[in-house]
Amino acid sequence: MAAPWGSSGSRWSLGALLFVWGTFLGALPGEATIFPGPAEVVGRSSLQEARGGESLIEVARTHDLGFNEIAAANPGLDPFAPPAGSPVAIPGAHVVPAAVTPGQLVVNLSELRLYFVPSGGTPLIASFPVGTGSEGKETPLGIYRVTEKRANPAWHVPLSIRREKPRLPAVVPPGPDNPLGSHALRLTVDGLMIHGTNRPWGVGRAVSHGCIRLYPEDIPILFRLVSLGTPVAIVREPVKVGSQDGRLLIEVHRDDGAGIDYAAEATRLILARGALDRVSVTRLLRALAEKRGVPVDIDR
């Protein structure tokens, strides 16, 4: 199951969500992606018209999406200068990764998205787009823990980065020039952090030196939700299967680093649910071929 801790696809009223946001965070999170749980599929996709002079990078941030998500959902559309009036798919729905369990933060490298379900209290699913490590500096897979939480962190520049950019000082103080942004969570691996950024265009891209970066407006929310000692699972799940309103959905992301047979993985996940007899082969094959990173109904 995509979310073994529950399968309800129900939604709360806007008033209930606002109450929960206020209770958990002390303030409304604006465009933050926080959903009621438990659920196997969260969020809702939509369409809007492109506006003159607005890139898909800006549209993505407005809807708390990464650049990779908006680009994959709109193949053939110029991401930097989409023609005004063009339909733009907003991929706001997400199948929750199988690795997600209460109290564990999950980063799915295949979709460049983070998920967190707090333990106890009001059931919530928080999900944010992330940027990760570039080729040769990949964010490492594994299970880690949050060992330090720091607001307004100073950046102690690693020697490897100073060799690349010798003009950098040994320490960058808090402020607009600090690439860690306003908050940072340090993990058990030396140098590995989840933090904000002063370069939001890098969210939804593999461009960091290995750390996991969030939009400036998202990192304070995650910072409040996560406690010291929280386990962090960094995984690759390019194929996810979930159920919503009695329908079977599959979400497929293009992830060349996963090294899997997509059809075999999809079949494995569907068989594990005992749902192979209800699948439309045509719809399944189309989803596997397109890899648009959006939930696709594959029921007959």
Question: Average pLDDT of 126-134?
Answer: 95
Q: What is the pLDDT of residue 2?
A: 41
Residues 6+ away with beta carbon under 8 Å from 235: 97, 99, 106, 107, 108, 109, 141
Q: Which of 63, 94, 183, 211 is catalytic?
A: 211
Question: Tokens for 95?
Answer: 């199948």
Average pLDDT on 206-233 reads 95
pLDDT value of residue 29 = 42
Q: 9-48, pLDDT tens digit by residue?
A: 333 344 444 444 444 443 334 445 899 989 999 999 999 9
If we measure between CA atoms, which residue out of 55, 59, 53, 62 comes closest to residue 89?
Answer: 59
In the predicted model, what is the mean pLDDT of residues 112-119?
96
Q: pLDDT by residue (tens digit) across 250-295?
A: 999 999 988 999 999 999 999 999 999 999 999 999 999 999 999 9
Active site residue 195: yes
**Length of the chain measured in residues:** 300
Q: What is the mean pLDDT of residues 194-214?
A: 94
What per-residue confidence (pLDDT) applies to 20?
46
**Model confidence, pTM:** 0.88
The Cα-based distances of 265 to 69, 179, 219, 230, 251 in angstroms read: 21, 37, 32, 29, 12
211 is catalytic: yes
The one catalytic residue among 63, 183, 195, 253: 195
Q: How far apart are CA 275 and CA 75, in angstroms?
A: 30
Name the one residue in this structure whose structure tokens are 């930097």: 80
